[in-house]
Every structure is written in C-alpha cells, then in structure tokens.
Amino acid sequence: IIIDHHHRSSPSIIIIGHHHRSSSSSSIIDHHHHPQLTRTDAASSSMTIRVIFGTQPLKSRVSCVDDALVASAEEAARRLAAQGGEELAASLSMRDFVKQAGNDTAAAVAGVTTLVVATTTTRQGDAPDNAMRFVRKLTLLERKREKKGDAAGPPPFQNLRYCVVGVDDPDSDYCNQTAKTVHRLLEALGARPIMDARLLAGTNGASEADSAALRASLEQWQRDVVAKAAMTADGGSDAKERDEKNDKEVH
C-alpha cells in the first residue's frame, strides 16, 4: 500500500496494487504512450464494458463525495462509449447491474469483459445499500472456493478485467473500505486489474478548492480508465505485454 500524505485541506490519494509495478510507482499514466481504441477496433474486440457504482442513501449521503462519484461514473461511461464504440447505457448502480441479470451477480459479471467500479462506504464500514448484494455475493463466491480448495476448479472471473475507484471521508475509520474489499475480491476470483485501485478522499462541506481538487482527481481517473481499457481491448497476453512495456516507458 502506497500512501501519499497530503495536508488535510486537499484530498489524499491512496494507491493499492499487487501486480507488476514497483512500490514506488504511481498509477498516473502518460496518455501520450497509450493508443486510443477506435470504433473499428472495438467492433473486432467484442468488448463489453460496464461502469457500476455504490453510493449511500440520499438521506445520509456525504453529498460532496457521493454526488461527485456518481457524476464521475456517468462521465467515465460516456468517455468509454465514445472511445470504444460500445453500446453502453448510462452507468448503473451495483444493485441495478445485478438486477438486470436476474439478481445473479456471477452471471452479471460473467457477461462483461471489463468492469469499472466506483464506490463509497457507509460510516459504519458497510457497503452502500445499492452495492451490498454485489459485495456479499462476491464474498460468498470466495468462501465457497476456499472451502473446496484444489477441487474448486478455475476461478470464475479469469476472463474479466477491472478497475476500482473509491471516494470517502478521510476522517472515517472505514475510509474506502468497500473499494478495497471489491478490489481484493475480484482479484481473488481471478479477475485482472487494468490499473491500480484509485482511492480518494473528500469531505462534506469541503471548500471550493477541495471540491475542485476532488473533481480533478476523478477526471484523471476517468482518463486513465479510458486509456487502459483501450490498451487491453484484446484481453490477451499481448495486451499485458503492452501494458508492462508502457509502464516501463513512463516509470
């Protein structure tokens, strides 16, 4: 875990990751080194990208955080659709994402090639109401595989690529807990991250400067998601090698 400590007046950024980057690397990438996915490329790649989010109920929202996260998820979906030529609906809550698959979380995830997750955490440390079923199902899938041991077979999400962004109050004891949990569970179930999880902090009633800094961080995340999704459009080993090559060029 790499923690970038900032003064409390600006959103802190925590980057977690378990793959090829060194402990000193940043998840910010140089977009000049990353090809954009054209509509022709997208048609041949058969990519299915979904952007899903989890937020606290309206009555208990940390408005600066939840509203910014939902807006960012919607914008990420728009940018991915524009770059990848995907027939993407607007971003969905995790609850609606699962509901569209008959409340079968495993089937919902199996139906996509790239999953982009944006989430907050309640002040009690739980997943938000509209993300709880999704997180619980992933947890159950992991436990079942652990019980089966060697007999569990191949991981269920081995063909999935994903990324996670979390935004929470830095003063909370559970800041970004849901984002960390989803990142860990998806990886444990065989999915491969297309980039490090991006964990951001923002507070309710923040100053205009703090809110602007949070929006800027989320906009950078959106650009990174689009670039990484374009790079990994083929989903195979060539994409992984290209990812590693580009990281070496940047770092």
The model's pLDDT over 63-101, given as tens digits with 9 standing for 90+, comes to: 667 888 888 998 999 888 887 655 565 689 999 999 999
Under a CB-based contact definition with an 8 Å cutoff, are residues 115 and 160 in contact? yes
pLDDT at 112 over 70: yes
pTM of the model: 0.74
Q: What are phi and psi of 47, to 5 degrees?
A: -75, 140
Chain-centre distance for alpha carbon 129? 18
The SS3 call for residue 52 is: strand
1 pLDDT tier (thresholds 50, 70, 90): very low
What is the structure's pLDDT at 61? 57
- Which of 64-68, 77-81, 106-110, 125-129 is predicted with the least confidence, judged by mean pLDDT? 64-68
What mean pLDDT is reported for the chain? Answer: 75
CA-to-CA distance for 158 and 174, rounded, in angstroms? Answer: 29
What is the structure's pLDDT at 123? 85
Average pLDDT, stretch 23-51? 43
Average pLDDT, stretch 28-40? 32
User: Distance of CA 198 to CAs 1, 12, 40, 233, Å?
Assistant: 11, 11, 30, 21
Higher model confidence: residue 149 or residue 5? 149
